[in-house]
Structure 1
Amino acid sequence: MSIELRHFRCFLAIADTLSITRAAERLHLTQPAVSRTLRQLEQSLGVHLVDRSTHHLALTPDGLSFRDRAAVAVASFDRALGYAHRTAWPLRLGHAWAGAGTDTTTLLRRWHEEHPATPLELLRIDDRTAGLARGEVDAALLRGEVSAPGLITERLTTEPRVAGLPADDPLAHRTTLSLADLADRTIAVNTVSGVTSLDLWPPSARPASTITIGNSDDWLAAITGGRAVGVTTSATAEMHPHPAMAYVPLTDAPPVPVVIAWRDGPGHPRIPDLIALAHEVMGRG
C-alpha cells in the first residue's frame, strides 16, 4: 500500500488530540476509519507510532520523531496549493518573542528594498522553534541554545540579560541588579519559548517560588500585575516597553545567543539571502 497525504493528516490529528475519538471528529470520519488509516500507515512504515496499551493514548518514540516530519510534509503541500495562483512566494520568518530586537525594522525594510519580489512575513509563534520544526515557517530567529533535530543554526549576536520588575518595585530604580537580588522573589518562567530557568542561580541560592508562563504577553502581565518578577534579554525591553514595567541590567547573568535557524534539506530558495542579510544587520558577536 502506498502512503498518501490522508495518512499523514490522520496521524497528525491523533498526535494533536491524543484521542481516536477526537481525531475522528476533527477529520469528520468514523472512529474505525481513523483506526484503520493509522494501522495502514504504521504497517507501511514498519513502526508503531501510537501506544494504545494504556488507558491514555500516547505517541511512541517513533511517533514523536515522525510527528514533526509529517507536519512539515503536510504544511509544505498545503502551502504549495495556497500559493499556486500567486506570483509571489512569501518567505516566512518566525520568532517567539522580540523578533530581531531593535534591528527588526531595519531587517524588514532592507529586505523589501533588496528583494521586492519576495515578501518577508514576520510571524510570532509561541513555540521553542517558532514553528520551524513543524513547517509553519521557513526560517526563525531564536534565542538560547537550539538543539531540535533537523535544524541548522548560525549565531548572529548575543543579548545581555535584564531583570523585569513592576515599575513601583523597590528594586526598579536601581541601575544594576544581580541574580541574588531576585532570589527571594517569585520568578515568572516561560517554559514554552523562554530562556530563563532556575539553573541561572547557584543550587544553594535558587528562588523557591516560580509561576509558569506560556508566552511573552502573559509574562508581561504577570510582572506588571505584581505576581512575579522575571529575567529576559535586552530585546524584550527594547521591543516591549510598558509604563508599568521596569527593566534593569543584570551584572552576573550570562548573555543569550541569538541564532537564525532553518531546516536541513530543501526549502525556500531565498533562505541564503535572508541568512546573509541577518548577519549583516544583526551580527555583532
Structure 2
Amino acid sequence: MSEVSPEPRQLRALVALTDEGTFTDAAIRLGVTQSAVSRLIAALEAAVGVPLVERTTRSVALTDAGRRTYRAAVLALTALDDVTHAARGTSRPLRLGYSWAALGSYTSPVLREWRSRHPDVPLEVHRVDERSAGLTRGVADVAVVRGDLPDSTWASRLVVREPRLAALARTHELASRPGVTLADLRHDTLVTTAYGTTTVELWPADARPSSTLWVDNLDEWLTEIAGGLGIGVTAAATAGQHAHPGVVFVPLDGVAPIPVRLAWPAAHPHPAVERFVDLVSEVVAGQASATTSNRSV
C-alpha cells in the first residue's frame, strides 16, 4: 500500500469527474486538459492503492472504493475551504440546495431574514435535481429534502408538513373541481421524476394510474402536464413557486402531507448551519401563527 497522501488537486479531479460524468467535461470544469485530469486520477489511484474509476470507451463509472473516496473527498475539500476562511477571519458562503420548490412561501422571508441578521455569512441558493439536493455531491451545505432522507449519514430537522396537490392541464375535466382524490386520477398517466416524492405506490395497488411518464426536471414536468400528456402530484410549494399558465393545481384529498426537512452532513457541518435551521424554524412558526390569528379574526 502506498504511503503517499492524496493531494487536493487529485481529489478535485475525482469530484469533477464524478459530477460531470466525462473526462472532457471534468477538464472544462477544472480549466485543464483532458489528459491532465486522467493523470490526476491515475496519481490518486496510485496514492490510495486501489482502482477508483472504471473506464470504458463510452462511459466512466466509479468502483465501490471510488464511491467511498468521492464522499470523503467532498468532505475533505469542504474542510480545506473552512481552514482557509478561518485563517482569513472570513465566512464561507452557506449553500442551500433544493431539488424542486425550495421552501415554498417561506423561501423569500427566510432569505431576507438571513441577509438582515447575518450579513457576514453570504447565503447561496442552488437547485440540484437529485434526491439529496446537492448534499451527496458536496455542492450544498444544507438542503431542503421532501419525504424520506436519502442517506442516514445526514442530520435533519422537520420544519413543516405540506399538503399534496394534483397538477392538471387547464383543459383537464377535473381542473375546475375544488378538490380531487387519488381514485379520480387512476385512469390518467402519472408524470414524475426519479427524485420526486410521488410514484404510483401512492395509490392503492388495485387502483393505480394506467402508466407512468418519467421526466428529467421540473420544466419538463410542467410542460408535459400542460400539454395534457398526464397528471402530477406535488407539494403545495410547487404551486406558489412554479405557476404555469397551462397547469392548474387542485387540492388532493385523503392523502398524507409531505414532510419537509432541512438536512446537512452530520460530520463537519458548515459553522452557520445551526443558525440557519433555527431561523427557518422561526420563520415557519411565525407565519403559521400569523395565519392562525388571521383566521380567528
Pairwise TM-score range, normalised by the shorter structure = 0.7 to 0.9
Q: Is the 8 A contact 2:165 2:233 kept in 1?
A: yes
1:220 matched to 2:212? The reply is no
Q: Could you state the TM-score of these two structures normalised by the residue count of structure 2?
A: 0.81
The count of residues paired between Structure 1 and Structure 2 equals 282
Q: Kindly, what percent of the aligned residue pairs are identical?
A: 40
- Over residues 79-107 of structure 1, what are the superposed CA-to-partner deviations in whole Å (9 max), with x where a residue is unaligned? 87799989564322111122211111221
Counterpart residue number, 2:294: none
SS at 1:262's partner residue? strand
Counterpart residue number, 1:250: 252
Q: Is the 8 A contact 2:85 2:92 kept in 1?
A: no
- Over residues 161-187 of structure 1, what are the superposed CA-to-partner deviations in whole Å (9 max), with x where a residue is unaligned? 110001121100111111121111111
Report the AA paired with residue 260 of structure 1: L
Q: After the TM superposition, which residues 135-174 of structure 1 pair with which residues of structure 2 at under 5 Å, given as runs? A: 135-174=138-177
Displacement of 1:131 in angstroms is 1.1
- Over residues 239-264 of structure 1, what are the superposed CA-to-partner deviations in whole Å (9 max), with x where a residue is unaligned? 22223211111112221100011112
1:183 matched to 2:186? The reply is yes
Paired residue for 2:70, among 63, 67, 81?
Answer: 67
Looking at structure 2, the residues matched to 53 and 100 of structure 1 have their Cα atoms a distance apart, in angstroms, of: 41
Q: Is the 8 A contact 1:72 1:133 kept in 2?
A: no
Looking at structure 1, the residues matched to 58 and 94 of structure 2 have their Cα atoms a distance apart, in angstroms, of: 43
Report the AA paired with residue 255 of structure 1: P
SS at 1:127's partner residue? coil
- Over residues 180-222 of structure 1, what are the superposed CA-to-partner deviations in whole Å (9 max), with x where a residue is unaligned? 2111111111213x11111111222222322112222221111
Counterpart residue number, 2:208: 206
1:108 matched to 2:91? The reply is no
Q: After the TM superposition, which residues 1-285 of structure 1 pair with which residues of structure 2 at under 5 Å, given as runs? A: 1-16=4-19, 28-29=32-33, 31=35, 37-51=40-54, 57-74=60-77, 77=80, 89-192=92-195, 194-283=196-285
- Over residues 2-27 of structure 1, what are the superposed CA-to-partner deviations in whole Å (9 max), with x where a residue is unaligned? 21123213333443466668767876
Looking at structure 2, the residues matched to 51 and 82 of structure 1 have their Cα atoms a distance apart, in angstroms, of: 35
Structure 2 unaligned blocks of 5 or more: 289-297
Looking at structure 2, the residues matched to 142 and 225 of structure 1 have their Cα atoms a distance apart, in angstroms, of: 28
Q: Could you state the TM-score of these two structures normalised by the residue count of structure 1?
A: 0.84
Looking at structure 1, the residues matched to 145 and 169 of structure 2 have their Cα atoms a distance apart, in angstroms, of: 26
Q: Once superposed, what is the RMSD of the aligned Cα atoms?
A: 3.0
Looking at structure 2, the residues matched to 19 and 202 of structure 1 have their Cα atoms a distance apart, in angstroms, of: 41
Q: Is the 8 A contact 2:189 2:212 kept in 1?
A: yes
